[in-house]
């Protein structure tokens, strides 16, 4: 495994020459904007039937993602749930390959086998988006065990939704990590909803970070709409994990649209939706940058055009990429060659039909 | 008599059973406010309130186990598990408790529980969301597993399941929810453990359940029209208990069988049916029993791969021809008598 490169993140701002803290904000904005445009392009491709299956978007979680990943070293590991396109792109994986995965093509990060819910890229140490709620949590805990076992300096970040904190695996994993002093940060992206169920309706302790207390695990809650706050909180969490003490970080965020692309989210009131729009982290950061005189409207527009170009190119790349050949259907059942394994297409018998008997009358 | 969708039949039956019996309550993720991922429970929260229509946290093991305990004390919980894939998180409670409590305690307490859950796939849902694992439950003594294919059977078997004193896994299918059929007004509960011959024929027995019962019926009709073939269709309806007598009687008449299933080929439901035919109709069999099932791979997301992994109508027809070939009766064209 080679350490990740993070080209999109280290690119200097092309708009103006802000410095220091301002430069950092501009960089955050660029990355958040890329996630935003990427997800909007994804939604469009889904409605055009270029993408199938379940498709969950990171719209509203841009500041959370950018803040969290800023605190990671390229060699740290990341596990997520199925709502992970933005993580993949912001981790530095080529957006072309993320989009190609969504299209189910061979150039996709998982070669078209995973789709929206299952992005994986060894080089960038994204060890998977997982579709079973809570499924990634024990697995990520085990990755931290491997690091601790080898005396490594890396840490694992494992993200999940608020709803995931009610599944047994969450509690079992936190207990293991605390007992074994594993280098892991559990991140709860609290977008206040499971699918349509609110945190209050599903969690007896709705201040989710407090669940860490049951395992004597350090924990905190942070405003996930402010990337600067998220970085600061995530840096504390990551430092703790690197010192061998697991950490539970709750990032209070928003889900701007339905649970998945096909959910019209009718269970939300108009007031709620208006409130969501008012708190949208992407325009909020843009307004902040303009108000502080860091960026002009023209510069904002130029950045937007750049993001749009990247996602449009990604869609074109995905469209042009080849679909997997049917002959590869049995390529990934086992990592090792094995005798007597069934490689039959659905209509095929276990044994070839016996030769036909001599013509009988009918 | 009313024509309604499979979804509507389930919805109305749940409602009727709740009206009929105060002990019936519903538990599951998103079944109340969200009205169910597939809208089976639409309106029931409003009508019956949160005491009887319980939105649960995402905690399959917990709420399924809780339903088992509530059933031990005489309630009749109906649990909805969003898809059968997620039932795996509750597998321990279902297999180790729901199925065991009656026997392990010498028959002192029964578990009148229903777990409703849809199978499905073929919608690019990927490896963990496209599995049809009803077999895991059909394997376990102490559980009953029913798999109705029509709205009427869905109603009759759901009534039976809810009134049954044993745990019943009630298999639905995503592809069936919008299918329509006649549902008689005064339909009685169906006995669990019976299959049905849904089409009489002499040339071959085509066996399916749930979604594949429809595939079987459709292929039989198609081959009757195009080839004059006279195929008998058996809808298993119940996977445990399995109605072996109906299967064997059919094959004794037709001398050949093809089994359709939505799970992987080996160790599947089809294997059990084939073994049943081998045991019960060996002397009557003129060709090996064929199974048409999924390729044995984790289901891929990419459409061409997924399509290649799932059985198609053409695969079924090819298996039928090969079986008839083996029987030596390939030339059964129109007017074969
Ligand atoms: C074990 C399991 N149960 C149910 C589901 C269906 N499901 C998919 S996402 C989801 C809601 C998860 O909510 P949360 O953890 O808050 O994540 P979010 O979608 O808000 O990011 C549910 C119930 C599942 N995938 N796995
Ligand atoms: Mg959530």
Q: What is the pLDDT of residues B131-153, one digit of tens each?
A: 999 999 999 999 999 999 999 99
Phi, psi (deg, nearest 5) at residue A163: -65, -25
The pLDDT value recorded for residue B328 is 81
HEC-encoded secondary structure of chain B: CEEEEHHHHHHHHHHHHHHHCCCEEEEECCCCCCCCCCCCCCCHHHHHCCCCEEECCCCHHHHHHHHHHHHHCCCEEEEECCCHHHHHHHHHHHHHHHCCHHHHCCCCCCCCCEEEEEECCCCCCCCCCCCCCHHHHHCCCCCEEECCCCHHHHHHHHHHHHHCCCCEEEEEECCCCCCEEEECCCCCCCCCCCCEEEECCCCEEEEECCHHHHHHHHHHHHHHHHHCCCEEEEECCEEECCCHHHHHHHHHHHCCEEEEEEEECCCCHHHHHHHHHHHHHHHHCCCCCEEEEECCCCCCCCHHHHHHHCCCHHHHHHHHHHHHHHHCCCCCCCCCC
Cβ of B80 less than 6 Å from ligand 1: no
The pLDDT value recorded for residue B159 is 98
Q: How far is ligand 2, taken at its centre, from the CA of residue A197, in Å?
A: 9
How close A338 gets to chain B, by Cα (Å)?
Answer: 14
How close B87 gets to chain A, by Cα (Å)?
Answer: 11
- Which residues of B carry out catalysis? 60, 129
Closest B-chain CA to A354? B326
The pLDDT value recorded for residue A22 is 95
The pLDDT value recorded for residue A347 is 85
Q: What is the mean pLDDT of residues B313-337?
A: 76
The pLDDT value recorded for residue A5 is 41
| Cβ contact A324–B305 (<8 Å) | yes
Contacts of residue B80, defined as CB under 8 A and 6 or more positions apart, other chains included, come to B26, B27, B28, B29, B31, B36, B40, B41, B116, B117
The pLDDT value recorded for residue A355 is 61
B61 CB neighbours in chain A (<8 A) are 168
**Residues whose CB is under 5 A from ligand 2 (ion)?**
A 161-162, 191, 193
* pLDDT confidence band for B334 (50 / 70 / 90): very low
CATH 3.40.50.970 placement within chain B: 2-183
| Cβ contact A346–B315 (<8 Å) | yes
The complex's ipTM works out to 0.95
* pLDDT confidence band for B329 (50 / 70 / 90): low
Question: Bigger pLDDT: A6 or B78?
Answer: B78
The overall average pLDDT reported for chain B is 96
CATH architecture of residue range(s) B2-183:
3-Layer(aba) Sandwich (3.40)
| Cβ contact A168–B62 (<8 Å) | yes
Task: Using the predicted structure, report yes or no on whether residue B333 has a pLDDT greater than 80.
Answer: no
Task: Using the predicted structure, report yes or no on whether residue B54 has a pLDDT greater than 90.
Answer: yes
* pLDDT confidence band for B232 (50 / 70 / 90): very high
Q: How far is ligand 2, taken at its centre, from the CA of residue A115, in Å?
A: 20
Select from A64, A82, A159, A163 the residue to mutate for testing ligand 1; criterion: most ligand atoms less than 8 Å from CB: A163
Cβ of B60 less than 6 Å from ligand 1: yes
CATH code of domain A24-328: 3.40.50.970
> Distance (Å, rounded) from C-alpha A92 to C-alpha A86?
10
Q: How far is ligand 2, taken at its centre, from the CA of residue A254, in Å?
A: 9
Q: What is the mean pLDDT of residues B176-180?
A: 98
Q: What is the mean pLDDT of residues B255-261?
A: 97
| Cβ contact A196–B34 (<8 Å) | yes
Which ligand does the CA of B62 lie closest to? Answer: 1
pTM: 0.94
Task: Using the predicted structure, report yes or no on whether residue B258 has a pLDDT greater than 60.
Answer: yes
CATH 3.40.50.920 placement within chain B: 196-336
CATH of B196-336, one of 3.40.220.10, 3.90.1300.10, 2.60.40.10, 3.40.50.920: 3.40.50.920
How many CB pairs lie under 8 A apart between chains A and B?
A: 177
Cβ of B89 less than 6 Å from ligand 1: yes
Phi, psi (deg, nearest 5) at residue A196: -120, 0
The pLDDT value recorded for residue B1 is 78
One pLDDT digit (tens) per residue for chain A, 362 residues: 344 444 444 444 444 567 789 999 999 999 999 999 999 999 999 999 999 999 999 999 999 999 999 999 999 999 999 999 999 999 999 999 999 999 999 999 999 999 999 999 999 999 999 999 999 999 999 999 999 999 999 999 999 999 999 999 999 999 999 999 999 999 999 999 999 999 999 999 999 999 999 999 999 999 999 999 999 999 999 999 999 999 999 999 999 999 999 999 888 899 999 999 999 999 999 999 999 999 999 999 999 999 999 999 999 999 999 999 999 999 999 999 999 988 999 989 999 876 655 554 44
Count of other CB atoms within 10 angstroms of residue B307: 14
Task: Using the predicted structure, report yes or no on whether residue B102 has a pLDDT greater than 50.
Answer: yes
The pLDDT value recorded for residue B332 is 47
């Amino acid at each position: 495994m080679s350490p990740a490169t993070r080209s999109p993140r280290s690119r200097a701002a092309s708009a103006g020459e802000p410095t220091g803290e301002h430069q950092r904000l501009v960089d955050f904005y660029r990355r958040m904007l890329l996630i935003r445009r990427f997800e909007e392009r994804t939604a469009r491709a889904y409605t055009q039937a270029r993408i199938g299956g379940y498709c969950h978007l990171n719209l509203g979680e841009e500041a959370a993602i950018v803040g969290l990943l800023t605190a990671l070293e390229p060699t740290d590991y990341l596990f997520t749930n199925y709502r992970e396109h933005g993580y993949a792109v912001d981790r530095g994986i080529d957006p072309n390959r993320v989009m190609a995965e969504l299209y189910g093509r061979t150039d996709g990060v998982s070669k078209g086998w995973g789709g929206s819910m299952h992005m994986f890229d060894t080089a960038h140490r994204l060890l998977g988006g997982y579709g079973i709620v809570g499924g990634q949590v024990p697995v990520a805990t085990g990755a931290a065990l491997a690091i601790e076992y080898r005396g490594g300096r890396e840490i694992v970040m494992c993200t999940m939704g608020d709803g995931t904190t009610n599944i047994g695996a969450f509690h079992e994993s936190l207990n293991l990590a605390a007992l074994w002093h594993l280098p892991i940060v559990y991140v709860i992206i609290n977008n206040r909803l499971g699918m349509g169920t609110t945190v209050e309706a599903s969690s007896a302790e709705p201040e989710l970070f407090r669940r860490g207390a049951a395992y004597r695990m350090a924990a905190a809650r942070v405003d996930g709409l402010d990337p600067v706050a998220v970085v600061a909180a995530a840096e504390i969490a990551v430092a703790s994990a690197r010192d061998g003490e697991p950490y539970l970080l709750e990032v209070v965020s928003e889900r701007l649209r339905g649970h998945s692309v096909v959910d019209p989210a009718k269970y939300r009131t108009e007031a709620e939706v208006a409130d969501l729009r008012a708190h949208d982290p992407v325009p909020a950061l843009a307004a902040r940058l303009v108000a502080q005189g860091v960026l002009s409207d023209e510069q904002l527009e130029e950045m937007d055009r750049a993001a749009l170009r990247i996602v449009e190119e990604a869609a074109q790349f995905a469209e042009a990429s080849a679909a997997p050949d049917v002959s590869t259907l049995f390529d990934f059942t086992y990592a090792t060659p094995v005798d007597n394994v069934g490689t039959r297409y659905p209509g095929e018998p276990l044994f070839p039909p016996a030769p036909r008997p001599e013509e009988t009358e009918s | 008599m009313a024509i309604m969708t499979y979804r509507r039949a389930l919805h109305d039956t749940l409602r009727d059973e709740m009206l009929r019996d105060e002990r019936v309550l519903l538990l599951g993720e998103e079944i109340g406010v969200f009205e169910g991922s597939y809208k089976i429970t639409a309106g029931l929260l409003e009508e019956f309130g949160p005491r009887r229509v319980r939105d649960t946290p995402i905690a399959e093991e917990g709420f399924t186990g809780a339903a088992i305990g509530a059933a031990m004390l005489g309630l009749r919980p109906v649990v909805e598990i969003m898809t059968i894939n997620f039932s795996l998180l509750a597998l321990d409670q279902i297999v180790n408790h729901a199925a065991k409590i009656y026997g392990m305690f010498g028959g002192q307490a029964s578990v009148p529980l229903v777990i409703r859950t849809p199978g499905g796939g073929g919608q690019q849902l990927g490896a963990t969301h496209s599995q049809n694992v009803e077999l895991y439950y059909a394997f376990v003594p102490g559980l009953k597993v029913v798999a109705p294919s029509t709205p009427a059977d869905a109603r009759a078997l759901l009534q039976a399941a809810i009134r049954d004193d044993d745990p019943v896994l009630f298999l639905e299918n995503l592809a069936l929810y919008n299918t329509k059929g006649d549902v008689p007004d005064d339909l009685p509960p169906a006995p669990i453990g019976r299959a049905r011959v849904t089409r009489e024929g002499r040339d071959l027995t085509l066996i399916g359940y749930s979604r594949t019962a429809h595939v079987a019926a459709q292929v039989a009709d198609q081959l009757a029209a195009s080839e004059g073939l006279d195929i008998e269709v058996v809808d298993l309806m119940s996977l445990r208990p399995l109605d072996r007598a109906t299967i064997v009687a059919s094959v004794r008449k037709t001398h050949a069988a093809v089994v359709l299933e939505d799970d992987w080929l080996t160790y599947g439901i089809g294997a059990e049916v084939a073994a049943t035919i081998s045991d019960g109709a060996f002397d009557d069999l003129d060709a090996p029993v064929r199974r048409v099932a999924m390729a044995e791979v984790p289901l891929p997301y990419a459409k061409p791969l997924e399509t290649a992994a799932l059985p198609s109508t053409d695969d079924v027809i090819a298996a039928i021809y090969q079986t008839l070939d083996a029987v030596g009766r390939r030339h059964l064209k129109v007017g074969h008598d």
